[in-house]
């Protein structure tokens, strides 16, 4: 069982505050002249409206069977053609090169090491057609915010949880009141730029939000768009 399976029943409530990313990824998908792929598709929160907007099949990849089961049910209810594949994003390959691959809601941070992230970036680069895009969003680690919330039990959308920071490992552990736990490993701007470079991609844009806000010293979110050279 995937460690993310425990989040499947509560994911809608857990992610209820995150809505503005959908329009951003929909916009990129509408501009994509070819196949669209979502990594860490979860319960289809983003993929289903993307598939509805582009009115053509798309692929979603995730390692959690429970999340994928919810996504299948919702895709059927929405009447969209969403191919779903249970697979680790470090292992995915495509039969046909994609025009857009995206990974929303900080899911890239579930990869523990720089090598893991590099593997995904190289997989993405190999799977994109020339001129294809790779987009993702992750938080900017802020030590002031970390100090305020470290180890404190809170209620979020009725869900008891706490975040514990492990700076020596660049890691946060997210624990639910039920005992279920997942971890995220943050990365710096220079690390993301290094991953883009070693994969042979190019930075198209770095925003601080989903309305294309410029990235500056006060930014709390990385919203990246990279491109495979034509």
pLDDT digits (tens, 9 = 90+) for 104-130: 999 999 999 999 999 999 999 999 999
Instruction: Give the closest residue to 228 by CA, choosing from 130, 136, 138.
Output: 130
> How much is the average pLDDT of 59-75?
96
Task: Indicate the angle between helix axes 114-127 and 189-198, nearest 10 degrees.
Answer: 40
Band (pLDDT 50/70/90 cuts) for residue 11 is confident
Quick check: 31 pLDDT over 60? yes
Instruction: Give the closest residue to 107 by CA, choosing from 128, 82, 137, 134.
Output: 137
Instruction: Give the closest residue to 210 by CA, choosing from 196, 226, 224.
Output: 224
Q: Give pLDDT, residue 142.
A: 96
Paired sense of beta strands 159-166 and 154-156, if any: antiparallel
Cα–Cα separations (whole angstroms), residue 92 to 26, 40, 227: 22, 11, 19
Q: Within 13 Å and on the Cβ side, how many CA atoms surround 4?
A: 21
Q: Give pLDDT, residue 18.
A: 78
Contact 157, 16 (CB under 8 A): yes
More confident site: 19 or 131: 131
pTM: 0.96
Q: Give pLDDT, residue 2.
A: 66
Quick check: 23 pLDDT over 70? yes
Q: Give pLDDT, residue 7.
A: 84
Listed in order, strand segments (DSSP E) in 2-111 are: 36-39, 58-62, 82-86, 98-103
> What whole-number distance in Å separates Cα of residue 55 and Cα of residue 208?
29
Cα 33 → chain centroid: 21
Instruction: Give the closest residue to 195 by CA, choosing from 136, 142, 131, 146.
Output: 136
Cα 163 → chain centroid: 19
Q: What is the homologous superfamily of the domain 19-139+187-227 according to CATH?
A: Vaccinia Virus protein VP39 (3.40.50.150)
> How much is the average pLDDT of 60-73?
96
Band (pLDDT 50/70/90 cuts) for residue 156 is confident
Quick check: 78 pLDDT over 90? yes
The CA-based diameter of the chain, rounded to the nearest angstrom, is: 49
Quick check: 56 pLDDT over 60? yes
For residue range 195-215, what is the model confidence (pLDDT) as tens digits? 999 999 999 999 999 999 999
Residue percentage of the chain with pLDDT more than 70: 99
Paired sense of beta strands 58-62 and 82-86, if any: parallel
For residue range 157-192, what is the model confidence (pLDDT) as tens digits? 889 999 999 999 999 999 999 999 999 999 999 999
Quick check: 14 pLDDT over 80? no
């Amino acid at each position: 069982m995937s460690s993310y399976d425990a989040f499947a029943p509560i994911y809608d409530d857990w992610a209820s505050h995150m809505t503005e990313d959908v329009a951003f990824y929909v916009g990129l998908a509408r501009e994509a002249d070819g196949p669209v792929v979502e990594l860490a598709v979860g319960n289809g929160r983003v993929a289903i409206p993307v598939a509805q907007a582009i009115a053509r099949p798309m692929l979603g990849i995730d390692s959690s069977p429970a999340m994928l089961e919810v996504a299948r049910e919702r895709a059927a209810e929405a009447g969209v053609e969403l191919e779903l594949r249970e697979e680790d994003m470090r292992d995915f390959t495509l039969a046909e090169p994609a025009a857009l691959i995206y990974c929303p809601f900080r899911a890239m941070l579930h990869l523990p090491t720089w090598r893991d992230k590099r593997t995904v970036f190289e997989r993405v680069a190999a799977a994109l057609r020339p001129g294809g895009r790779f987009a993702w969003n992750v938080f900017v680690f802020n030590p002031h915010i970390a100090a305020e919330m470290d180890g404190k039990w809170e209620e979020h959308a009725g869900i008891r949880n706490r975040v514990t920071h492990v700076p020596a490992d660049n890691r946060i552990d997210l624990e639910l009141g039920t005992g279920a736990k997942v971890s995220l490993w943050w990365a710096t701007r220079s690390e993301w730029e290094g991953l883009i470079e070693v994969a042979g991609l190019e930075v198209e844009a770095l925003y601080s939000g989903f309305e294309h806000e410029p990235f500056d010293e006060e930014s709390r979110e990385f919203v990246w768009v990279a491109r495979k050279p034509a």
